[in-house]
Structure 1
């Protein structure tokens, strides 16, 4: 599958399409990520466009903000993810990652050459701030 690179213009286009409720959130991954299509149910709930509060690029990653979680797609084929100096195992795991110097727990689901990371939204995002400081 060809890897597509997201630009800021692409993100703005996605924001417009989400605002218009023209797509469901999970279809974003099918178009822009190297991982194969996967279930749109995450933690038992289906992700629809109305569940997405914002979308942006964070350190070249596509981020979808949900009500309680942020979904981060790492679009790096043939690479490994290192957390705290340790290589992430090739199965579902709970690990720790630092987001803007804030340590949070994350759920990592390895999907072949891509990683789906679900991050609890930090407090500064819950308080209405929808853009990461290091964006």
Structure 2
């Protein structure tokens, strides 16, 4: 699934390529991608003639700011946008096409068809339910350590599960959760309320650092992710633990293990990220 770094790179690419263009027509080939109460026909009707002023991002959501509407897009597992000339053949898995006034098309492709589009009036974009529930962006300006400490102190859920919670911090997914926990030397199974002040500080810093470096590297291409220009990300070559099962830990040489935490595949170093559960009297 594209996480914050990948979505941010897509946002930047879209602003470079389609900003100030006008939508002249819309094709929807998979109606379920349009979120009620809008039908695919109504979605098409209200978008014709709208100018794309800019594209913003909140967490993993892309927000297209038009004349009268905010079009909110979530890429889900494998969604992607491509900008193509109007006469180029449609690729397989193309489900929504926005015709632009410069003889180009903004095309949305999605192998699994999980992506969604929602429309809200431009002056009510902040009232969109899923976005209202999002936690802070993982930046020094918005992701405050005291708020993070307070959140962790109130739950005994595994710390990996907690930092995947979009209400705690927006945009962190499986890849960057594993990488942040490794950088902070924290076991992903450790209950959040058992992290001490120093561990919480290190994890807070690691999340900001890992996400920031991933954005700079263009995100991570693990399966099918490509940016708006069809380019793969580069951060995957810098990953320390994610997808590295049985490979040597870059810090200590211990084989990386993969377990399930909250039903999510989780990679960690059993030597660098030790957690002794006092209640169970054993190492996890």
TM-score normalised by the chain length of structure 1: 0.41
Which protein shows a greater Rg? 2
Higher strand share: 1
Q: Greater share of helix residues, 1 or 2?
A: 2
TM-score by length of 2: 0.22
